[in-house]
Amino acid sequence: MDLDDNIFMLPGPVKMHPRVLRAMSLPARAHRDPTFFEIHREIRELLKYTFQTNYDVAVISGSGTAGMDAAISNLLTKKHTAVVAHNGKFGERLVEIVKRYSNAIAVGAEWGEVIDTEKVAEAVEENDVDAVVLCHNETSTGVTNPAWEIGKIAKKHGLLYILDGITSVGGIEVRPEKMGADVVVFGSQKCVAAPAGMAALAVSPRAEEMMVENPPYYLDLKKHLEKYNNPEKADTPYTCAIPLFQALLEALRMIKEEGIEERWRKCAAMGEATREAVKAMGLKLFPRDERYASNTLTAIWLPEGVTDKEFRGTLKEKYHVVVAGAQEHIKGKVFRIGHMGIVKWTDLAATIVAIEATMRELGLDVERGAGPGVIAEHMARYGL
């Protein structure tokens, strides 16, 4: 496939702007140089804007999982217990991470369902609990969990609240202080539209005081925070992934230029448009309750009678439109469209038209122009 010529609609990694690609491909430079400290300093300030926080921030060279691993391993030990709510692959991963270092009370919901806040409240009330861990936006199922309400439960009981914002921060409203979140993590290749390979964290002063002794060496969050928030110079304890940081700076500048509220508003509008469009085409959303369907990606049941290979294969090979499949037990049954970061209305429009063409080609019933018409209507309403 021609990487320069496709419509790239994954729920991460996402399309990167040429400005970001150019920043990434600069020649080698020293990371312990005043000009690079300046890059870190600007990233730091832009991260606070993107997270909408005054907390200290850090960037770890590693995946989003590295960020959640750092958050959990630096705050929880075998002496602690955390309620971990899960309703998909990434929530389940959080259960695994918590169990690696601490004790987990898993509060589960089916894939496609939303987390039941009542059950979280019960688990917190009925057990001796130190923390609540939640995946805000479950990328595997396209469900956004009620992170604000769960934050209230954590706050009421004075619990640490660790939030996986990997595919929410930058696309869905997150405000750590107002949500009562102590740690929020995002992955660089998601809503901020930077390359994969970095995890950013915002950490409350309370959490900074509760850091454990002897966490995993590379993920020692105290060290990372101390270096990155040094007012004199921002730096990382170990060599950072230099080109990725240059790209992250550019991607964060683009968020600032557009405005974070505008990004949230665009994701909300595109999420709604996508849902309405696929329904108009006779497709069914995977999330059971549409009120909790994510605004940064949409998970959709594959139409009956076609395989994932036929459906996504046609989209990709014939129309050069790249959407994601699904994972684990819903693999081959569900596909996912990402609409976060710098995805444009015209990208979404082309995707929906290509889905209509694909359905037609595969002999499926689809009303002519129904999906694309919905997108046109929402595009016009959005005021582009």
DSSP 88: S
Find the part of the chain contacting a copy of itself (CB under 8 A) among 22-30, 248-256, 285-293, 367-375: 22-30
- Sign of the torsion formed by the C-alpha atoms of 89, 94, 97 and 101: negative
**How many Cα atoms are found within 13 Å in the side-chain-facing hemisphere of 316?**
18
Q: Provide, rounded to whole angstroms, the least separation between the CB of residue 32 and a copy of itself.
A: 8
Q: Helix, strand, or coil here: 220?
A: coil
Q: Are strands 143-144 and 137-138 parallel, antiparallel or unpaired?
A: antiparallel
Please identify which residue in the block is written with the tokens 């919901």: 109
Does position 255 interact with a copy of itself (CB under 8 A)? The reply is no
Quick one: which of 43, 44, 51, 64 contacts a copy of itself (CB under 8 A)?
Answer: 64
Taking the C-alpha atoms of residue 88 and residue 327, their distance in angstroms, rounded to an integer, is: 9
Instruction: Return the number of the residue (52 or 168) whose C-beta is nearest a copy of itself.
Output: 168
Taking the C-alpha atoms of residue 86 and residue 114, their distance in angstroms, rounded to an integer, is: 9
Quick one: which of 47, 62, 88, 183 contacts a copy of itself (CB under 8 A)?
Answer: 62
Does position 97 interact with a copy of itself (CB under 8 A)? The reply is yes
* 256 to 96, 123, 340: CA distances (angstroms): 35, 39, 15
Instruction: Return the number of the residue (94 or 379) whose C-beta is nearest a copy of itself.
Output: 94
Instruction: Return the number of the residue (241 or 252) whose C-beta is nearest a copy of itself.
Output: 241
Does position 324 interact with a copy of itself (CB under 8 A)? The reply is yes
- Sign of the torsion formed by the C-alpha atoms of 281, 284, 290 and 294: negative
Q: Provide, rounded to whole angstroms, the least separation between the CB of residue 142 and a copy of itself.
A: 17
Does position 224 interact with a copy of itself (CB under 8 A)? The reply is no
Q: Smallest Cα–Cα separation from 24: which of 363, 357, 251, 294?
A: 251
Find the part of the chain contacting a copy of itself (CB under 8 A) among 59-67, 252-260, 275-283, 362-370: 59-67
Q: Provide, rounded to whole angstroms, the least separation between the CB of residue 242 and a copy of itself.
A: 4
* 178 to 260, 295, 300: CA distances (angstroms): 16, 20, 32
Does position 146 interact with a copy of itself (CB under 8 A)? The reply is no
The site map against a copy of itself for 161-200 (x = CB under 8 A) is --------------------------x-x-----xxxx--
Does position 14 interact with a copy of itself (CB under 8 A)? The reply is yes
Q: Provide, rounded to whole angstroms, the least separation between the CB of residue 66 and a copy of itself.
A: 4
Quick one: which of 73, 204, 274, 351 contacts a copy of itself (CB under 8 A)?
Answer: 73
Taking the C-alpha atoms of residue 327 and residue 7, their distance in angstroms, rounded to an integer, is: 22
Taking the C-alpha atoms of residue 325 and residue 109, their distance in angstroms, rounded to an integer, is: 21
Taking the C-alpha atoms of residue 41 and residue 38, their distance in angstroms, rounded to an integer, is: 5
Does position 100 interact with a copy of itself (CB under 8 A)? The reply is yes
Instruction: Return the number of the residue (8 or 264) whose C-beta is nearest a copy of itself.
Output: 8
Residues near a copy of itself (CB under 8 A):
1, 3-4, 8, 10, 12-16, 21-22, 24-31, 35, 61-66, 69-70, 72-73, 96-97, 100, 187, 189, 195-198, 214, 216-219, 238-244, 247, 322, 324
